Amino acid sequence: MNQAFQVAFAFVLLILVMFFVVQFIFEEVQELYGSWRTYFFDAWNLLDWANMILLLVGFTMRMLLFSDAANANVGIEQLSNKESFQNISALASVATTVRVLNAFNCVLLWGKVTKYLRHLPLVKGLIRTVWNAFDLFVPFLIMFCVGMVGFVMAFNVGFGDKVAELSNFSTSVVYLCRAFLKDVQLMPVYDITPLFGAGLILLFYLNMIAARDLPDPRKPFWSALASLGPDLLVEILSYITHSSRGISSFGALCQRITGTLQEDSAWRHLCRKYWHSTDARLKDWPALSARGLYRALEQWMPLEGFYVLSCAFPWGLLALLRIAEGRLEASVVRFLPSRDGSFREIQVPLFEVSISEDRPGIVRSAVSAFWRSGVESVLAPLEPAELLACTRESQIFHSRRIGAKGLFRARRALRIRDESCEPRKTPKRSAREANAADDSGRDGYRNALLSDEEEFGICVSEAWNAGTLDDSEPGLRRRTEAMLRDMLTQRIPCDLALVRSPAEFAPLDHSVPRLRPGLYVGDYGHSMYGQFRTEVLLLDYVSLSPVQLRNECQDPQLFWRPFGEPPPEELRALAELEETITFMRVVKQCGDIHVPMGATTFVAVCSPDVSKMSAFGQAAPRRVLNRQTCCLESLSRSWRGFGTLATPGFGRPSWAAGWLAQFGDAATEQRLGFVWDRSQDAVVLRWIGLQDSCPFLQRSWLPEDVR
């Protein structure tokens, strides 16, 4: 009775376990449906499924075994009758299989237990040890198998005729594996041939001990580090981390590294390695120790680059930040056009950051500017979404927040603020508020941001009137200083937005233009733009695959417009080519009231050649009138493209067909312009020469996390 109760109780428990398994599988299928791409990359999920499958297989086989046993004519009478025979080997085989599955499942259950206990300190250490040993498991297994095969052959040949367990290869493998686990003794081998047996046993155990106690290949690395010379040691450290704190923490590993990091030569080597600092540039920092120099470069070198003064939207002013003579200098770059088509580049100081050292390795900075006196200031990072326009002309746009609708997309932004003031955090809008703002058009979006925009005023200084273009360098310099003083001394912040670096591009064939990606300047010549008629544009390249091109037709990114205006119709003809299309894109960094800074002014198809496609209309002109010089220019090359036309306030922007043209010698001159189909003149853009002395525009040498 007691045995029958135990069987029934075990059966009930088994049924309950199966209900749990079915529920678990249902939940896992739901999770698999939601995240099928990452589900099977989790080892715990694989372990759970293996456990559940084994439980289901074992349960099914056990139910079949119960059914077959009930139908079999086997009882006490049949078993006690010696004259009758009943073959139950099949049932016994199934029962044995079920026991094996359950035994293997117990091992998996142990693994699942560690999953739920993995947060305990000792269990966490165990899991970390097993995980770290995975990279050594395969080499160990290969060496162990090679050594084992050799010893199996030796023991089988030497003692196979005398010891039954060594009579063939398979039994010898089992016997020696048991000996490795100390489950059997090798004394029978020693008793047969003491000398040969003892030598073979000794070699076997020495080999197994060597395999078990393999040294960690990482340990000799750390011990070898201490024997390296200072220059080589610092070079190795430079590949580990660029962070000065990380290098100092890493130096605590051994006494030799700590001593090396106390030497000035080590930190100067790191300065040259990471921050592109030549010996000539390092001489500009006489007041800093080598470690302080590295800290200063680590903090300020990633900020070098070309920026735009965002509060001057829609015009924008180009600004240059670079390290010179031991400090970070910022200047506004203005351009004075000449009658021959060239430009003089005039730099007007904006501010500078002086750097001092309180004690070795601890640096301080102070911001000073001619328009800001008596207040301690700092240069701090800023969320690009907080950039605001503060000119009178900016009020005709749908929002003073220049990031609204993605019109201007800055990679990084900086703001000069009082040292005592905490940076303001922009309140986050809910998804409902964002959708309401988008659905209600420009007025709704403007009202949603009005409370934030009221914090800063509008500059009404006469210096910011378009007026006329200055014809002398002193006059342009004085006017720029007045503009900065009048704007930045009011309730208007000095915000700088980093100009996005051009993409690296290697032309694949001669049909692709060899124009350098970077900043270009041109004189638009419109009297209504006055002093802002010289505009700066950024040229780069974008390649779209056939799939991306089809998506571009539905959801424009390259041909994006603030309120969803459609891309050019010719884009669908390009998508039908089923080829990768390379575009040359030009984005305004200093704009006007029609097409402001941040907007794409024209795009051209660089590769493949589409000039002969019927969908792209008329042929390119041979000669074009240069608006700046009023002379005809010959085209060396041209590519079909689309330019932007808009009403004031970037209203109703549309794409109009035209040609991107390169002028002069294609091999030496970097001059380009866009020629509309309906006109035969163009604004000729020239390469800004200041970039040749500023290699940081291509920022690929910087560590990835500070680009």
The answer, yes or no, to whether residue 58 has pLDDT greater than 70, is yes
Q: Could you report the per-residue pLDDT of 181-217, keeping only the tens digit for each?
A: 777 777 777 677 766 666 666 666 666 555 444 444 4
In sequence order, what are the beta bridge partners of 548?
Answer: none
- CA angle centred on 306, ends 300 and 307, rounded to 5°: 90
Angstrom distance (rounded) from CA 428 to CA 416:
23
Q: 369, 388, 501, 513: which is closest to 453 by C-alpha?
A: 388
Q: Could you report the per-residue pLDDT of 291-334, keeping only the tens digit for each?
A: 888 888 888 888 888 999 999 999 999 999 988 877 889 999 99
CA atoms within 13 A on the CB side of 609: 9
Distances (CA, A) of 576 to 508, 555, 572: 21, 17, 6
Domains of the chain by residue range: 2-131, 133-212, 218-300, 305-317+361-495, 500-706
Residue with the larger pLDDT of the pair 620 and 5: 620
**Among 134-143, 176-185, 371-380, 442-451, which stretch is predicted with the lowest mean pLDDT?**
442-451
**Among 113-117, 165-169, 516-520, which stretch is predicted with the lowest mean pLDDT?**
113-117
* Whole-number pLDDT of residue 69: 74
Distances (CA, A) of 259 to 223, 238, 293, 591: 15, 16, 18, 55
CA atoms within 13 A on the CB side of 215: 7
Contact predicate 598/587, CB 8 Å: yes
pTM (two decimals): 0.61
Angstrom distance (rounded) from CA 501 to CA 706:
13
Tell me what the mean pLDDT of segment 219-234 comes to: 55
* Whole-number pLDDT of residue 578: 85
Angle between helices 194-212 and 169-180 (to 10 degrees): 60
Tell me what the mean pLDDT of segment 141-168 comes to: 82
Q: 677, 683, 632: which is closest to 524 by C-alpha?
A: 683
* Whole-number pLDDT of residue 108: 79
- CA angle centred on 252, ends 251 and 257, rounded to 5°: 40
Phi-psi region of 320 (alpha: psi -120 to 50; beta: other; left: phi over 0): beta
Contacts (Cβ under 8 Å, ≥6 apart) of 362: 292, 295
The answer, yes or no, to whether residue 351 has pLDDT greater than 90, is yes
Q: Could you report the per-residue pLDDT of 70-99, keeping only the tens digit for each?
A: 776 666 666 666 666 667 777 788 888 888
Tell me what the mean pLDDT of segment 543-568 comes to: 87
Q: 696, 579, 707: which is closest to 276 by C-alpha?
A: 696
- The 10 Å Cβ neighbour count of residue 55 is 21
